Amino acid sequence: MEKTISVNVSRTYQTKLVLPPDTNHMETIFGGTILSYIDEIAAISAMKHSRKVVVTASIDAVHFVSSAKVGDILTLEAFVLSTGRTSMKVYVKVECENLEDEEKRLTTTSTLTMVALDENGKPTPVPKVMLEADWEKELLLKKQP
């Protein structure tokens, strides 16, 4: 029987501060910096789910919805949305918060495919994921953002 584990095992959060070196001449964060954060948290989420080392197989979709400026606080959330035999589709959402006006807004959404590796660097099976909330199940069925 295949093992199935809760989506909450992989749910991961990170908080980042947008600093001047992370931004362009308009003082908004570089898209590449956001992508780096997304790749890192997706890997952590997939490792928590699989209990294995993982590699990024693909960045399937990225939607830059709004920009973040110097001084904004970014909150990233990631979780395994679905699984294949050795792969995991990870959903990542990035929100930013401006401390002055307390406004929170969606910045970026993304899905990535991560593959679990065994001790020899070969793809290895991963547990199935059980989504729990209706919004998680709806997310699986629709295109982001």
* 130 belongs to a structural domain: yes
* 89 belongs to a structural domain: yes
> How many domains are there within the chain?
1
16-37 confidence digits (pLDDT tens):
999 999 999 998 999 999 999 9
In sign, the C-alpha dihedral spanning 60, 141, 89, 62 is positive
The pLDDT value given to residue 42: 98
Give the SS3 label for residue 13.
strand
The pLDDT value given to residue 102: 83
77's tokens: 């959330």
Intra-chain end-to-end CA distance of the chain, in Å: 34
* 145 belongs to a structural domain: no
* DSSP string across 72-118: -EEEEEEEEEEE-SSEEEEEEEEEEE-TTT--EEEEEEEEEEEEEE-
* 144 belongs to a structural domain: no
The pLDDT value given to residue 144: 53
* 143 belongs to a structural domain: no
Indicate which CATH number applies to the domain containing 88: 3.10.129.10
* 82 belongs to a structural domain: yes
The pLDDT value given to residue 99: 85
* Residues 105 and 95: beta-carbon distance below 8 Å: yes
The pLDDT value given to residue 143: 60
- Phi and psi of 36, rounded to 5°? -60, -45
* 71 belongs to a structural domain: yes
* Residues 9 and 48: beta-carbon distance below 8 Å: yes
- Residues of the chain with pLDDT below 50 are 1, 145
* 36 belongs to a structural domain: yes
The pLDDT value given to residue 140: 83
The parent domain of residue 8 ranges over 4-138
Q: Whose CA is closest to 22, among 73, 93, 97? A: 73
